[in-house]
Amino acid sequence: MSVVEGSEAVAMAIKACRPQVVSAYPISPQTHIVENLAKMVADGELDAQYVRVESEFSAASVVSGASATGSRAYTASSSQGLLLMTEVIYASAGMRLPFVITGVNRTISAPISIQVDHQDTMSLRDSGIIQLYVESVQEAYDTHIAAFKIAEDPKISLPVMVCMDGWILTHSYESVAYMGQEEIDRFLSPFEPEHFLDIKNPKSWGSYADDNVLMEFKYAVHQAMQDGKQRIREIFKELSLLTGRDYRGLVEAYRTEDADTIVIALGSVSGTVKESVDDLRSEGHQIGMVKIRCYRPFPFEDIWEAIKGARRIAVLDANISMGSEGAVGMDLKAKLYGLKNAPLLVDFIAGLGGREINKRALRNILQQLDTVGKKPPFLKEPNWVGLNPTLFP
């Protein structure tokens, strides 16, 4: 066990995965990751081409081009930087290029802020990039190693983004158990794609397609996501065996077996929710939580398995689809529609721009659930947690 900064743990994981090309453009709070990697290259500990680009748009383009040429590639970004990469990520998923990005979660302007929420990564949810959210520094370390294996699986072959909360995870120190290089090499084989830019076997990539075939391309990406769920479960299982830490699958269910009420969350807030669950359980509430580890592909089957016995669900969305609701709430409602005995589901917008979600906020959410009663809650959704009413006329 070493006590390390979250960003350093991520850099250690990336180094151990032996990327051949790393590209970097600074944006807080992502910077420490690529700075650590730069130092490793400078010290000769990591044998990779390190490309210092002039924008996030180019950072994503460099790793995409490297991936298309058959090299394992990595970059990281946050917030506006991820938005600037958006066009590249859509196209890379369409071309089935399996690189890994760390999406260090940070809110989006305006107002400009460097604090954490999930608006940035959620805005990429439709692009075809696989999204894995992590709760702790240890989970961030382990998940990055799984990310390459998932991305490069021939049946999947899509970019993967490991989403980790800025500051809370990137800049905090935790004790982390590193794996040995040999173990990682056994777990993650070298990247050997079947198709790549190869002068011995020339192929054309990124062609023009119209109504004759475009829909089939999009279907193939969607299907790779859908079929990929099983593969991701298997890879997480292998990761569990390798690490001795429990990564049972796409979601983590915490004290849900007999739960009447379940809170659904992603990312670092899950730890707070678990503690609240313990507190509330000791007071007699039948409450549990579900942490979504893999958000795209959306693991509804796994979530359903955990929530089907519950009467009501509170979703914590650290994002808002302006003029509608939070993304995770919408996803779940869409899937629950028409299901027999679907639980009542209420969407809460919480923690935008780094506003703290603490145990008191969670008690507050629970009280709101109690007042919902039998009335359809969706009429006034979403519910904003902890808004300051004095700021509005």
Partner 1 sequence: MGKKPYQKKEDYFVSGHRACHGCGMALAVRHILRATGKEVIVVTPTGCLETFSSPYGFSPWRVPWIHHLFENGPSVASGVAAALKAQKQDSVRVLVIGGDGSTFDIGFGALSGMLEREDDVLYICVDNGAYMNTGGQRSGATPLFSSTTTEPAGKASMGKRQIKKDLPAIVAAHGIPYVATASSAYLRDLREKVKKAMTYHGSRYIQIDTPCPSVWGFPSDQTLEIGRLGVQCGLVPLFEMEEGQIKTIRKIKQKIPVESYLKPQKRFRHLFAGKGGSEALRQIQALADRNIEKFGLLN
Binding site for partner 1 (CB under 8 A): 20-21, 23, 48-49, 51-55, 57-59, 61-71, 73, 87-88, 91, 95, 197-199, 201-209, 212-213
Q: Is 32 helix (H, G, I), strand (E, B) or coil?
A: helix
d(CA 86, CA 89): 5
Least distance (Å) from partner 1 to the CB of residue 351?
33
Least distance (Å) from partner 1 to the CB of residue 61?
4
- Do the beta carbons of residue 114 and residue 166 sit within 8 Å? yes
Residue 19 or 249 with smaller CB distance to partner 1: 19
Alpha carbon of 83 to those of 48, 77, 125, 272, 368: distances in Å? 26, 9, 12, 29, 34
Residue 154 or 206 with smaller CB distance to partner 1: 206
Closest CA to 53 of 29, 88, 1, 18: 88
Q: Is 228 helix (H, G, I), strand (E, B) or coil?
A: helix
Least distance (Å) from partner 1 to the CB of residue 318?
30
Least distance (Å) from partner 1 to the CB of residue 85?
10
Residue 159 or 354 with smaller CB distance to partner 1: 159
> Assign residue 148 a region: left if phi > 0, alpha if psi is -120 to 50, beta otherwise?
alpha
- Tell me the sheet residues that pair with 262: 288, 313
Least distance (Å) from partner 1 to the CB of residue 88?
6
Residue 74 or 254 with smaller CB distance to partner 1: 74
Token pair belonging to 51 = 């490309």
Least distance (Å) from partner 1 to the CB of residue 91?
6
Least distance (Å) from partner 1 to the CB of residue 11?
18
Residue 202 or 389 with smaller CB distance to partner 1: 202
Closest CA to 258 of 312, 310, 305: 310
Residue 63 or 164 with smaller CB distance to partner 1: 63
d(CA 81, CA 225): 24
Alpha carbon of 136 to those of 6, 48, 98, 141: distances in Å? 8, 27, 24, 9
- Tell me the sheet residues that pair with 313: 262, 345
- Tell me the sheet residues that pair with 173: 5
Residue 109 or 204 with smaller CB distance to partner 1: 204
- Helices assigned H by DSSP within 74-118: 79-94
Residues near 89 by Cβ (< 8 Å), separated by ≥ 6? 60, 101, 124, 127, 128, 129, 159
Least distance (Å) from partner 1 to the CB of residue 44?
15
Residue 59 or 318 with smaller CB distance to partner 1: 59
Token pair belonging to 45 = 């500990």
